Amino acid sequence: MPTLMHYLVLSALLLGAGVATILLKRNPLGVLMGIEMILNAAMLNVVAFDAFAPPPNPGSGAEGRVFALFIILIAAAQAALVVAIVLNYQRSRGKAGGEGA
């Protein structure tokens, strides 16, 4: 059975990958992917700490799940932003659908 340390190590790996992606990518889509990985690392931490809570409130999960829901909503808004950026880029380059030669 995975312990809290397993979740924290996975979260640290996600955080490191996200920071590396932000630092190494030059385009805005790559930076947004890095931000997404950092948000997922934070969400994993919150849910793991909530699942391994001490005895007064063991594993109720309500606070961690609500916070995870907000992170998922932010990720959905970020995905919509990425789609808008890609469509705007394609439109400015003249490669949008229906404008073929």
Condensed to tens digits (0 to 9), the pLDDT of residues 57-68 reads: 665 667 778 888
Which of the four pLDDT bands, split at 50, 70 and 90, describes residue 101? very low
The residue segments making up the domain with residue 55 are 4-93
Token pair for 25: 């990518």
pLDDT at 94: 78
Average pLDDT over residues 35-56: 86
The number of folded domains in the chain is 1
Average pLDDT over residues 89-98: 74
- Residue 96: enclosing H or E segment and its boundaries? none
73 within a domain of the structure (yes/no): yes
DSSP 98: T
- The DSSP line for 45-91 is HHHHHHHT--TTSTT--HHHHHHHHHHHHHHHHHHHHHHHHHHHHHH
Q: What pTM did the predictor assign?
A: 0.75
71 within a domain of the structure (yes/no): yes
